[in-house]
Amino acid sequence: MTVKVQLFIDGTWVDASDGGTLDLVNPSNYELIGQIAVATDADIDRALASAKAGFDIWRKVSAWDRAAILRRAAGLIEQRKEDMALRLTAEQGKPIAEARSELSRSAEIFVWCASEAIRSYGRVYPQRVRSGRQLTVKEPVGPVAAFTPWNFPVVLSCRKLAAALGAGCSIILNPPNEAPSAVAGIVQCLKDARLPPGVVTFLTGNPAQLSERQVNAPEISKVSLTGSIRVGKLLSQMAGAQLKPVTMELGGHAPVVVFEDTDIERAAALTAGFKYRNAGQVCLGVSRIFVQDSIFDGFYTAFAKHVEALKMGNGMDPATTMGPMANERRVEAMERIVADAVERGAKVTHGGKRRNDGCYFEPTLIRDLPDDSLLMTEEPFGPVAPIVSFKTYDEVIARANALPYGLAAYAFTGSLKTATDIADDFEAGWIGINEFTPSLAEAPFCGFKDSGLGAEGGPEGFDAYLKTKFISQLAV
């Protein structure tokens, strides 16, 4: 597979103005699979002007017509899913089955946002005077600068694209340099669905240059990022200086609390499956596993069996259940995290090592580590699972909530009271009780504490691309 990822500006795919490119590498074997364009300042300025002009057109298109384009795009995504899934696996590493699932979820988001576009209702207030009307209407906020990461590059891009377009905004999409070609395929679907030029722009290149120039540009009215806490705070500060609204979906370090009254085998199977999905590179994913001491050994043994059954390899192999990590930086981070755990007296019972024929790190299981270790305090974002014990409810809820993260949290229990109490007591925006649910098109996804600002998904995420106008009218 050889790909060439260009910029998409004013409805046309173009090379960077100076011809600059970066290599695109397959993380499973380090093979060069293509080049991506590196936008210059001049390219970014052209993109900003195009997005402003595109917004002036798109905002006047009826919600019904916007919805029709989104539905056509969804149909094209499904038709072209196999080609884009192959590209996604080649550039990001995830198993091909996971790539196909990501494309299907992306099409679903477009369908849902198409329907939500025609439900952006305002309100009419009871009359205070005869011949008077007072009402609110919702309008698109304006051109959006959107930045997405490499772990789920397609679905996270589509959450921003579909909501912004459904609301009537134009959008400049900045996908990850590590995995842009499948996202480029989504943009092509929108072009082929007859989206007007300028409404969607696609830029790759230097992340700092792209973000600083766009966030500070007067043409941009809103900023949306899915990324790290560090970058989220930086972009929020830049946007805040100009009072631009932001949506920030940032890092997480999700606890899983397994109580003694649960089905151990089921809890272990579900937790292991969710933990090693996408090689553990999931912001909603399992990061800290707390197991009540009376069932600790049984749960640990059951969990370990699922770790041993994983097949690590090239994502193109249908038998692979865990692919490589997306880049060498994440492999090095896993080595650092495991070394710290060992230094602190933890036991690595499974995995713990890299494999040198690609960006592979073994599915790893660690026990007997302290709460102040790197693995328990920093988001690992990789296939390393810590399992620790707890005694009481009050103890574990304090430990689960102790960090500045608040993206997701999970629990397994057979008690309705415990399930209700812990759902109330978890300090996180996404809660799972006796199950793990990937983000849904119709449900809001929002982080507490350092894990984010605002929401993506659901009506709340759609409304983030709208502003409310109050109108008072009197017939004279």
Catalytic sites, residue numbers = 249, 283
Distance, C-alpha 358 to centroid of its chain: 24
**28: nearest Cα among 278, 361, 323, 335:** 323
Give the distance from CA 371 to its chain's centroid: 27
CB neighbours of 200 closer than 8 A, spacing ≥ 6?
8, 54, 161, 165, 170, 171, 173, 187, 190, 191
Q: How many CB atoms lie within 10 A of CB 357?
A: 12
Q: Which three-class secondary structure state does DSSP give residue 243? A: coil
Question: In which order are the strands placed within the sheet that holds 466-474?
Answer: 123-124, 132-140, 466-474
In the chain, the amino acid numbered 380 is P
Label each residue of 201-228 as H, E or C.
EECCCCHHHHHHHHHCCCCCCEEEEECC
Q: At what angle do helices 81-92 and 63-79 cross, to 10 degrees?
A: 70
- Residue at token pair 């098109």: 441
For the chain, what is the radius of gyration of the CA atoms?
Answer: 23
